[in-house]
Amino acid sequence: MTELTLQQANSLIDAALKAAGSKNMPPIAVAVLDSGAHLKALQREDGVSFLRVQIAQAKAWGALGMASNTGLIADRYNQDDLQRGFINALNAMTGGQIVPLPGGVLVRDSKGCIVAAVGAAGGVSREDEACVIAGIEAIGFKV
């Protein structure tokens, strides 16, 4: 399995922030967690609210924990009461660490192995997700 280096994590964040700027999004925070859910890199744009940092990390953490991009977790949450109950139970078990909104995306190497996850917060959730995907693709990894 490939490890995501600090340089790659920082380049990914730079590309995600550039994508956000090109969309005229409000300031965002972007967090990269390694495959063990440890914080690898984080940047918070000037003017972004302090809670966005925790939301970005929780999106990445939830993606790793469920081995699923948080956009899919959000879709699952919206399916029915049973799925909402499941996601709410996960949140209770993890102290609120799973944010069922798009913006947390798994980073995969060329073999499809999960090497990291990225979360972004500050814009509309689908825009956060698009910026993260742009960052992942910019450094040559897969979503």
CA 48 from centre of chain: 16
Distance of CA 15 to the CA centre of its chain: 14
Residue-range definition of the domain harbouring residue 76: 6-138
Nearest to 104 by CA among 47, 143, 138, 48: 143
Asked if residue 70 is part of any domain, the answer here is: yes
Tell me if 103 is assigned to some domain. yes
Q: What is the reported pTM?
A: 0.95
Closest to 118 in 3D by CA, of 54, 61, 45, 53: 61
- Confirm whether 51 is domain-assigned: yes
For residue 102, the domain's CATH number is 3.30.450.150
Residue 34 lies inside a defined structural domain of this protein: yes
Query: What is the structure's pLDDT at 2?
Result: 78
44 within some domain? yes
3-state secondary structure of 31: strand
pLDDT of 77 > 90? The answer is yes
| Residue 1, in any domain of the structure | no
- Tell whether the model's pLDDT for residue 1 goes beyond 80: no
User: What is the total count of domains within the chain?
Assistant: 1
Using one digit for the tens of pLDDT, what is the confidence trace for 98-108?
Answer: 999 999 999 99
CA angle 61, 64, 68 (to 5 degrees): 120
Domain-embedded: residue 143: no
Mean pLDDT along residues 45-63: 97
Residue 21 placed within a domain: yes
Token readout for 103 is 């913006």
